[in-house]
Amino acid sequence: MARVVWITGASSGLGLYTARALARHGFTVVAGARSFGRGKAVEGCECLELDVTSEESRAAFAARAVEAHGAPDILVNCAGVLVLGACESYPQEELRRVMETNFFGTAAMISLALPLMREKGGGRVVCFSSINGLLGIPFEGAYTASKHAIEGYCECLALETRAMGVEVMVVEPGDHSGGSRAYRGRSAGVGEGSPYLAAFERGTAVIAHDEEHGSDPAALGEKVARALEKRRLPRKLIVAKADQRLAVVLHDLLPARLFARVIGPYYLKDLY
């Protein structure tokens, strides 16, 4: 069975729990994150510094990982950041930062790993999307755009690489606890005087509440590890509470205007 896994964003939240689960299941885990260069580590994993937005860092990570454990069988892209803000007022720099990490970083890691996997006759690529890869909610515009990009990219990737023995899985988590506030920035565009301020405070309070009371991240890590042990990898792994799954179903079934009347008031209550 394929055993060497590279996992990005493994120093915190779902990446950390997934790395731990993979190690417990006997995979050889090469974990990447920027803070591993500052002494942070995950038990049972080879922890290497990795900034997915830097070509130099990605190349150094790959070289050290291959030297230590050979080519990867599996790549898990989990590195991600979020900047809460209003679509109208995101500074370009913030939009680009989210896309650089969540989408361009993911795409670059795929480009790095695939030739190595091909030399072994195939492999598996796992990308962390989100429920936000399937629908939009207020004040997560930058993040939602990046996760929709991942969904579309992975659909194409799966079609292109199937004949090469490569399987692709997109993980679509709903709200989970355990993520760090450090990766949930607030846009500079919604300061004093912003016409969005009241709605932003209300909407982001709901988002924060749902995440704090979210699902167990350890259970998600376990599900990803179990999926990777299957003979055939599922194309999609949605891990969410019933209400968030229902939202996805309604998003696909209802006319867009009607769905907005369901989801909007949930976040913005009487402001909607």
Residues in contact with ligand NAP by CB under 6 A are 8-15, 33-35, 50-53, 78-81, 101, 105, 128, 130, 173, 175-176, 179-180, 183, 211, 214
Least CB distance to ligand NAP at residue 172 (A): 7
CB nearer ligand NAP, residue 9 or residue 203: 9
Exposure class string for 204-218: b at 16+ Cβ within 10 A, else e: bebbeebbeebbebb
CB nearer ligand NAP, residue 101 or residue 187: 101
* Shortest-Cβ-distance residue relative to ligand NAP: 13
State the catalytic residue, choosing from 143, 153, 196, 267: 143
Least CB distance to ligand NAP at residue 35 (A): 3
Least CB distance to ligand NAP at residue 31 (A): 9
CB nearer ligand NAP, residue 25 or residue 241: 241
Least CB distance to ligand NAP at residue 119 (A): 25
CB nearer ligand NAP, residue 73 or residue 210: 210
Is 143 an annotated catalytic residue?
A: yes
Residues with catalytic roles: 143
